[in-house]
Amino acid sequence: MLIFGESGTGKELVANAIHEQSLRRDQPLVVVNCGAIPEGILESELFGHEKGAFTGAVGARKGYFEMADSGSVFLDEIGEMPLATQVKLLRVLENGDFMRVGGSHMQKVDVRIIAATNKDLAKAVSVGEFRDDLYYRLNAIHIRIPPLRERREDIHLLIRKFAADFSRDNHIEFEGFGDTALRIMESHPWPGNVRELKNVIESMIVLEKGRLIDEYAVSRYLKPPVGRMDRNLPVPLNKSSEQIEREFIYHALLELKSEISKLREDFYGLAMTSQRPKSLPYYSEVVPDVGDSAVAKEGNSTANLEGKTLEEVERHMINQALESCGGSKRKAAKSLAISERTLYRKIKEYDLPF
């Protein structure tokens, strides 16, 4: 059988589940990463070798197929297997026999072969990078694991699972996630899929030292795909332009709130120690062409946005930007990182008095 899925979707987990539910569950499951073994020794690793077969072969050695006799072999990243090795693998699939490197007689095994790949093997076949007969033989049963962005209903469950396991195993008292933080993570595209989600959760728990993880913390850890992005770049998401624009504005607002919150903490910390700051952080990175008074006003007004819909947040931010810029649509559009044309359309859509 052939398992297809992007990197990090859990192909090995599916292979383990298949093995555990089969009649071979009491026999070994041997995992082989075809992309991690150099081409020159892959054949020896899979099929074994005899003494003296090559320099360094001081004794006979069983290969993975012999080790897995009566069990299963999981060939991960099968698309990376060299063509010469594919020929021998096909013989094992068809007849259940092979010859060790340097051997003179056939070995017989009874194994179930589960293969996995993140490559389009049909395309690889068309360009001669993968044998068509092996592809059709492996593809008797095809299992596709959808990426995490296509099963967002699983994200919340996975977050809870990973957080509970990691905090328990490492004896960390963890306060959990805020509702807004969970919504942000559920809307994130997760290009690294479940593996990326797990790593981010563990990093946040360790670096936030067990504190409640709110939207400010999440925005720091998800900055590459969700935080500050070049709004002019194409976005590879199956969303309408309206949804993409609203998400950009929403995340820009979260960044602004995070920066203002950090500034307040720094300022009050210095005030408590009777140290007067010589200068304040420059705001142009967050809100270009908007004065300090506008930023202070924005910080006060965004405190009541929790629980609002995305449309309400968008309307509020556009209105606030226009007020802060004295009605200048050019400056407001620049501060929101959207085009003036989009801004005019939003003003009309929300019937704003500008």
pLDDT reported for residue 95 = 87
pLDDT reported for residue 333 = 82
| Selection from 205, 281, 288, 280 nearest residue 252 by Cα | 288
Looking at 188-192, 217-221, 296-300, which range is the least confident one? 296-300
pLDDT reported for residue 143 = 94
Q: How confident is the model at residue 198 (pLDDT cuts 50, 70, 90)?
A: very high
| Selection from 299, 293, 289, 219 nearest residue 263 by Cα | 299
Mean pLDDT confidence for 116-133: 93
Within the chain, which residue ranges are assigned CATH 1.10.8.60?
149-226
Mean pLDDT confidence for 294-320: 64
One-letter-per-residue 3-state SS of the chain: CEEECCCCCCHHHHHHHHHHCCCCCCCCEEEEECCCCCHHHHHHHHHCECCCCCCCCCCCECCHHHHCCCCEEEEECHHHCCHHHHHHHHHHHHHCEEECECCCCEEECCCEEEEEECCCHHHHHHCCCCCHHHHHHHCCCEEECCCHHHCHHHHHHHHHHHHHHHHHHCCCCCCCECHHHHHHHHHCCCCCHHHHHHHHHHHHHHHCCCCCECHHHHHHHCHHHHCCCCCCCCCCCCCCHHHHHHHHHHHHHHHHHHHHHHHHHHHHHHHHCCCCCCCCCCCCCCCCCCCHHHHHHHHHHHHHCCCCCHHHHHHHHHHHHHHHCCCCHHHHHHHHCCCHHHHHHHHHHCCCCC
Q: Count other C-beta atoms under 10 Å from residue 116's C-beta.
A: 25
Within the chain, which residue ranges are assigned CATH 3.40.50.300?
2-145
Model confidence, pTM: 0.59
Q: Count other C-beta atoms under 10 Å from residue 163's C-beta.
A: 20
Question: Taking a C-beta distance cutoff of 8 angstroms, is the pair 254, 216 a contact?
Answer: yes
Question: Taking a C-beta distance cutoff of 8 angstroms, is the pair 298, 324 a contact?
Answer: yes
More confident residue, 210 or 123: 123
pLDDT at 252 > cutoff 60:
yes
pLDDT tens-place string over residues 318-352: 888 888 888 888 888 888 878 787 888 888 888 88
Class of CATH domain 149-226: mainly alpha
Average pLDDT, the chain: 79
Q: For residues 300 and 302, what is the distance between their CA atoms, to the nearest angstrom? A: 6
Please give the angle made by the CA atoms of 302, 304 and 305, to the nearest 5 degrees.
70
Looking at CATH, the fold of the domain delimited by 2-145 is given as: Rossmann fold (3.40.50)
